[in-house]
């Protein structure tokens, strides 16, 4: 279903997407970029200025003619908090509307922590971050953690290597504990959202590769997060790259993760990076992504090696390099990507382009 409120929100999001990636802009900029008439842009801008999301920022004097009004995003008009739940740590990040990290905190989590423990730590950390400049302008809290989990229902189904985490309705419980809207998603999907939010609309097809006690991929396809039918896409580490490879914990042989980890265990970081690169090239060929972002603690510990190997592989091993080019980068957010992305998912849900409207039935 699509009605006028949908239309309104859609165009507002369109304007926000431009505003987010430009230091400043004027009415004509947006009109050209969105296809809206200048008159319509005026109306949309008026609403956004009214909400405090955008503010006038002087005028630009052209060679001839009346000066044009200049606008810019008010980055600290909205904030969101993101949480990256890892096996031993809880990393919290406060981001503003522009996707900049404004504050952060890291807490240790006890081994085999329970949902109750996490919620307590989460509430304490969120309380501290919310006490800062964010004030009452907090949009919500995002949580990124290992799957499998059910994004649609907000429940953790069976977090990898964590006991006490079976069918936990984490989103609901966190909303109660925090009194704020909560989004729950896989860590890798949160991570790729961070990149997309910061890069803007030209970032349409991308993958975030994360190596951190496991290998996963967050997918951003066609300008939106790809989660898949059961919201568990991205189990990239358990794709087979070597039919005669070593056995994997998942029961198969030659999984990317198993082959990669064996190289790491042997101290062969370069070899491990090469294995990962094979997987990345597979991904590029299958999905034709234009951006590959590398992240994860275990990867960042040898960032240069990984980036060099993956970059070279993508450049030389894709057989049809002319038509499937991908840029390989390290995430500019470093260790904060996942937490920051979790925060940006909250902003994305509220101020981003709506996905395809819910399908019939």
Partner DNA sequence: ACGACTTTAGCAACAGCGTTGCGTAATACA
Partner DNA sequence: TGTATTACGCAACGCTGTTGCTAAAGTCGT
Nearest by Cα to 225 from 307, 151, 320: 151
The residues, ordered by sequence, that sit 6+ positions from 273 with a Cβ below 8 Å of its Cβ are: 302, 305, 306, 308, 309, 310
Closest to a copy of itself by CB, 130 vs 170, is 170
Closest to a copy of itself by CB, 169 vs 201, is 201
Query: Which tokens is 168 given?
Result: 């936990």
Please list every residue from 144 through 163 that binds a copy of itself, using CB under 8 A: 147-148, 150, 157-158
Q: Is 5 in the site for DNA (CB under 7 A)?
A: yes
Q: Is 67 in the site for DNA (CB under 7 A)?
A: yes
Closest to DNA by CB, 27 vs 226, is 27
Please list every residue from 183 through 242 that binds a copy of itself, using CB under 8 A: 200-202, 204-205, 217, 219, 221-224, 226-236, 238-242
Q: Is 62 in the site for DNA (CB under 7 A)?
A: yes
Q: Is 360 in the site for DNA (CB under 7 A)?
A: no
The residues, ordered by sequence, that sit 6+ positions from 199 with a Cβ below 8 Å of its Cβ are: 21, 291
Q: Out of a copy of itself, DNA, none, which partner does residue 79 contact, by CB within 5 to 8 A per kind?
A: none
Out of 52, 55, 58, 61, which residue is the one contacting DNA (CB under 7 A)? 61
DSSP type of residue 244:
T
The residues, ordered by sequence, that sit 6+ positions from 216 with a Cβ below 8 Å of its Cβ are: 146, 186, 187, 188, 209, 210, 234, 235, 236, 237
Span interacting with DNA, options 56-64, 245-253, 310-318, 341-349, rule CB under 7 A: 56-64
Q: Is 55 in the site for DNA (CB under 7 A)?
A: no
Q: Is 169 in the site for a copy of itself (CB under 8 A)?
A: no
Minimum distance from residue 314 beta carbon to a copy of itself (Å): 13
Quick count: other Cβ atoms within 10 Å of Cβ 265? 9
Closest to DNA by CB, 27 vs 307, is 27
CA distance 340 to 338: 5
Please list every residue from 48 through 87 that binds a copy of itself, using CB under 8 A: none
Please list every residue from 240 through 269 that binds a copy of itself, using CB under 8 A: 240-245, 250-252, 254, 259
Place of tokens 């949309």: 44
DSSP string of 156-196, one letter each residue: EEE-TT-TT-EEE-HHHHHHHHHSS-EEEEEHHHHHHHHHH
Query: Which tokens is 48 given?
Result: 């956004």
21 to 50: interface string for DNA, x by CB under 7 A: -----xxx-------xxxxx-xxx------
Burial per residue of 53-82, b for 16 or more beta-carbon CB atoms within 10 angstroms, e otherwise:
bbeebeeeeeeeeeebeebbbbbbbbbbbb
Q: Is 286 in the site for a copy of itself (CB under 8 A)?
A: yes
Closest to a copy of itself by CB, 76 vs 288, is 288
Q: Out of a copy of itself, DNA, none, which partner does residue 28 contact, by CB within 5 to 8 A per kind?
A: DNA
CA distance 346 to 140: 6
Question: Are β-strands 138-145 and 182-186 bridged in parallel, bridged antiparallel, or unpaired?
Answer: parallel
Q: Is 229 in the site for DNA (CB under 7 A)?
A: no
Q: Is 66 in the site for DNA (CB under 7 A)?
A: yes
């Amino acid at each position: 279903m699509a009605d006028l409120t949908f239309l309104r929100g859609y165009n507002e999001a369109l304007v926000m997407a431009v505003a987010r990636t430009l230091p400043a802009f004027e009415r004509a900029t947006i009109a050209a970029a969105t296809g809206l008439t200048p008159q319509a842009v005026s109306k949309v801008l008026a609403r956004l200025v009214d909400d405090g999301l955008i503010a006038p920022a002087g005028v630009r004097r052209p060679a001839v003619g009346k000066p044009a009004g200049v606008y810019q995003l008010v980055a600290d008009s909205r904030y969101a908090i993101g949480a990256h739940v890892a096996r031993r740590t809880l990393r919290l990040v406060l981001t503003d509307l522009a996707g900049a990290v404004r504050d952060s905190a890291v807490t240790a989590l006890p081994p085999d922590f329970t949902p109750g423990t996490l919620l307590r730590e989460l509430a304490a950390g969120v309380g501290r971050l919310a006490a800062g400049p964010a004030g009452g302008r907090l949009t919500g809290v995002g949580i990124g953690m290992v799957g499998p989990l059910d994004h649609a229902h907000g429940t953790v189904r069976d977090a990898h290597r964590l006991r006490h985490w079976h069918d936990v309705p984490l989103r609901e419980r966190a909303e109660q504990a925090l009194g704020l809207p909560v989004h729950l998603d896989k860590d890798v999907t949160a991570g790729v959202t961070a990149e997309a939010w910061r890069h803007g609309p030209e970032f349409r097809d991308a993958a975030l590769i994360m190596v951190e006690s496991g290998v996963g991929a967050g997918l951003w396809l066609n300008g939106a997060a790809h989660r898949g039918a059961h919201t568990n896409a991205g189990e990239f580490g358990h794709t087979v790259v070597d039919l005669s490879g070593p056995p994997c914990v998942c029961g198969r042989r030659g999984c990317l993760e198993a082959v990669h980890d064996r190289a790491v265990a042997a101290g062969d970081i370069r070899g491990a990076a090469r294995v990962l690169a094979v997987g990345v090239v597979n991904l590029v060929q299958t999905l034709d992504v234009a951006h590959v972002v590398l992240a994860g603690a275990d990867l960042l510990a040898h960032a240069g090696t990984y980036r060099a190997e993956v970059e070279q592989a993508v450049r030389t091993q894709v057989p049809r390099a002319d038509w499937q080019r991908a840029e390989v980068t390290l995430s500019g957010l470093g260790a904060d990507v996942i937490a920051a992305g979790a925060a940006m998912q909250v902003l994305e849900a509220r101020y981003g382009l709506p996905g395809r409207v819910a399908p019939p039935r």
